[in-house]
Structure 1
Amino acid sequence: MRSIWKGAIAFGLVNVPVKVYSATEDHDVHLHQVHDKDGGRIRYQRRCEICGKIVDFENINKAYDDGEQTVILTDDDLSKLPEERSREIEVVEFVPSDQLDPIMFDRSYFLEPDGASTKAYVLLRRTLEETERTAIVHFALRQKTRLGALRIRGDVLMLQSLLWDDEVREASFPSLDEKVRISAKELEMSSSLVDSFASDFAPEKFTDDYQEQLRELIDAKLKKGDTVSTEETFGEPTDETGKGEVLDLMEALQRSVEKNRAAQKSDAKKPARKKPAAKSARRETA
């Protein structure tokens, strides 16, 4: 694994340097879009709506639109925000672990001790384990201030970003306001059904059937030879960068006009071809 961030857990006067790693990864088979007619790749381009040019990432800024005016924010503007510069995971309180609603959990990260000594790291881990509490922390990552939960997973400290309270929607459905009578017999039968499915959760027992079937489908097509050349799906490069260029109608028309004008000028400069001299007609004398 590769660390995505370095910082330090701070609670009281204790400082625990750590490296942060993404704890999860995507196992999906990634597909791209192609033209059904010829298999050519479909690409989405970052095209400026003013000049019509394709823009590289390094020339792109962020902006906020209030409906009437737009505020442009450069990378330099954002880097000056105090929260973004902070490399501290600040512990703000320790709460009973069962008080955290799972709906608030967002992304998960593993924390590795980053220093000559792991004592402070192990001390914090043991403290959370002994007290059966979770540390609520405040930190900044990728230009966003975040709330997080510092928990234990095996021998590792795990940081889980939490949704802010106003990011969790309230569920209110009028249909649930209706009074429904559940008999004791119905509840008993339902409980018996639950008992028949009762088990200890073992995530390794479950697999993503759709992704497995998709891989089997792809393997079967490869084995059958039902493929096209990957190089051919990129098409011919149409500009100096070697990337496919998408032209809008006006641009295509303008280029056609310019091409025709250039051809006409070229023809006008060429010397005119001399016509063969006409043979003089002989007069027949009587």
Structure 2
Amino acid sequence: MRPIWKGAVTFGLVNVPVKLYSATQDHDLSLHQVHGEDGGRIRYERRCEVCGEVVAYEDIDKAYEDGDKTVVLTGEDFAVLPHDRSREIEVVEFVPGSQLDPITFDRSYFLEPDSSSVKAYALLMRTLKDTELTAIVQFSLRQKTKLGALRTHGKVMVLQSLLWADEVREADFPALAAATRISEREREMSASLVAQYADDFSPKKYRDEYQAELRKLVDAKMEQGDALDTEATFGRAQPEGDGEVVDLMEALQRSIERKRQKKGPAAAAGTGKARGRGKEHKAAGKRGA
């Protein structure tokens, strides 16, 4: 991995030099656009609508338009902004991690300590683990001031950028405005269905099926070309549902029975264990509160 940013975590008078790495990567198959008739690659040009010339990237500035007025901002203009020059990840407060709404999470980054700051890095990590708190930080990256959450992840610290409060939309759907009556029986049936699916989360159990099928299609096209029989490769396409409206209670009952048939008696016992773990976690949460 190559670092995308170098700076320091600052906590009071403590300064911890670090390197920042992207913690995630895109596994999607890389595709580009071509002309369907001859396979020629489609290229896009940055063409000026005034003079008609193709403009080199280094000659492109940014602008803000407000009605009839347009303000052009050059690279030199951005360079004078104090926050753009900052190389600090400033700790502003420590909060319980449970208070962070996952909807605000954006990008994740690994922090690697500089060779001169290993002890200070380890101390901050240990403090976060011992206190079970998350550090809220502010930093600048790629010409943007960002809010972030600094926490531990295995043997390293992870910085997760957060959305600002005004970047999260308010959801107000008319259909939810009216009071909806849910019976005790419906709640019990729903809880029973959830129990049938209860288990410990293991990300490695899941894979991106679409990308796997796309890779299979590309490999088959490379081998067979336009003679590819997609039905032989992927099977016959399943027809879409007929839109049948099923009674909620009936749908819950059918779902529970179908899940029980798939899992069998041994799996049902495992579900009881998972359900017990859920109760333990809930009880621990209440004690912590």
Determine whether 1:210 maps to 2:210: yes
CA–CA distance in structure 1, aligned partners of residues 115 and 76 of structure 2: 31
**Counterpart-to-counterpart distance in 2, 1:171 and 1:126:** 39
Report the Cα offset of residue 117 of structure 1.
4.0
SS at 2:34 equivalent: coil
Q: What secondary structure is seen at the aligned counterpart in 1 of 2:7?
A: strand
The one-letter code matched in structure 2 to 1:218 is: V
Residue in 1 that maps onto 2:240:
none
Distance in 1, matches of 2:180 and 2:81, equals: 53
Q: CA deviation at 1:222?
A: 1.0
Q: CA deviation at 1:141?
A: 0.5
Query: For the residues of structure 1 that align with 2:36 and 2:68, how far apart are their CA atoms?
Result: 41
User: Residues 150-184 of structure 1: CA distance to partner in whole angstroms, max 9, x if unpaired?
Assistant: 01110110001100000000111111111111111
Distance 1:210 1:150 in 2: 33
Q: Distance in 2 between matches of 1:101 and 1:117?
A: 31
Instruction: Provide the C-alpha distance between the structure 2 equivalents of 1:36 and 1:116, rounded to a whole number of angstroms.
Output: 56
Report the 3-state secondary structure (helix = DSSP H, G, I; strand = E; otherwise coil) of the residue aligned with 1:139.
Answer: strand
Q: What is the total number of aligned residue pairs between the two structures?
A: 227
Question: SS where residue 49 of structure 2 aligns?
Answer: coil
- Cα pair 2:146 2:161 within 8 Å, conserved: yes
What SS is found at the alignment partner of 1:217?
A: helix
Residue 27 (str. 1) matches residue 31 (str. 2): no
Structure 2 partner of 1:192: 192
Question: Deviation per CA, 1:236-278, whole angstroms, max 9, x where unpaired?
Answer: xxxxxxxxxxxxxxxxxxxxxxxxxxxxxxxxxxxxxxxxxxx
Report the CA distance between 1:76 and its aligned residue.
1.1
Q: 1:226: how far off?
A: 4.9
Which amino acid counterpart does residue 170 of structure 1 have in structure 2?
Answer: E
Report the TM-score, using the length of structure 2 for normalisation.
0.77
Give the Cα–Cα distance (whole angstroms) in 2 for the partners of residues 43 and 85 of structure 1.
34
Q: Secondary structure at the match of 2:201?
A: coil
Q: Secondary structure at the match of 1:111?
A: strand
Runs of 4+ aligned structure 1 residues displaced above 3 Å come to: none
Alignment partner of 1:38: what SS? coil
Three-state SS of the structure 1 residue aligned to 2:53 is coil
Amino acid at match of 2:120: A
Structure whose CA Rg is larger: 1
Q: Which residue of 2 aligns with 1:133?
A: 133
> Matches of 1:160 and 1:183 in 2, distance apart?
41
The CA deviation at 1:8 is: 0.3
Task: Name the CA distance, whole Å, in 2 between partners of 1:108 and 1:197.
Answer: 29
Taking only aligned residues, the RMSD between alpha carbons, in angstroms, comes to 1.2
Matched, 1:158 2:158: yes
After superposing the two structures, state which structure 1 stretch, 118-127 or 31-40, moved more.
Answer: 31-40
Give the letter aligned to residue 60 of structure 2.
I
Q: Which has the higher helix share?
A: 2
1:66 deviation in Å?
0.8
Whole-Å separation in 1 of the counterparts to 2:68 and 2:117: 55
Cα pair 2:7 2:18 within 8 Å, conserved = yes
Q: Displacement of 1:216 after TM fit? A: 0.6
TM-score (norm 1): 0.78
Structure 2 counterpart of 1:39: 39
The residue type equivalent to 1:19 in the other structure is K
CA distance in 2, matches of 1:156, 1:212: 31
Amino acid at match of 1:23: A
Name 1:277's counterpart in structure 2. none
Contact 2:17 2:117 in 1 (8 A): no
Name structure 2 gaps, 5 residues minimum. 228-289
Structure 1 unaligned residues grouped into runs of 5+:
228-286
Work out the CA distance in 2 between the residues paired with 1:116 and 1:108. Answer: 24
Structure 1 residue 116: Cα displacement: 2.4
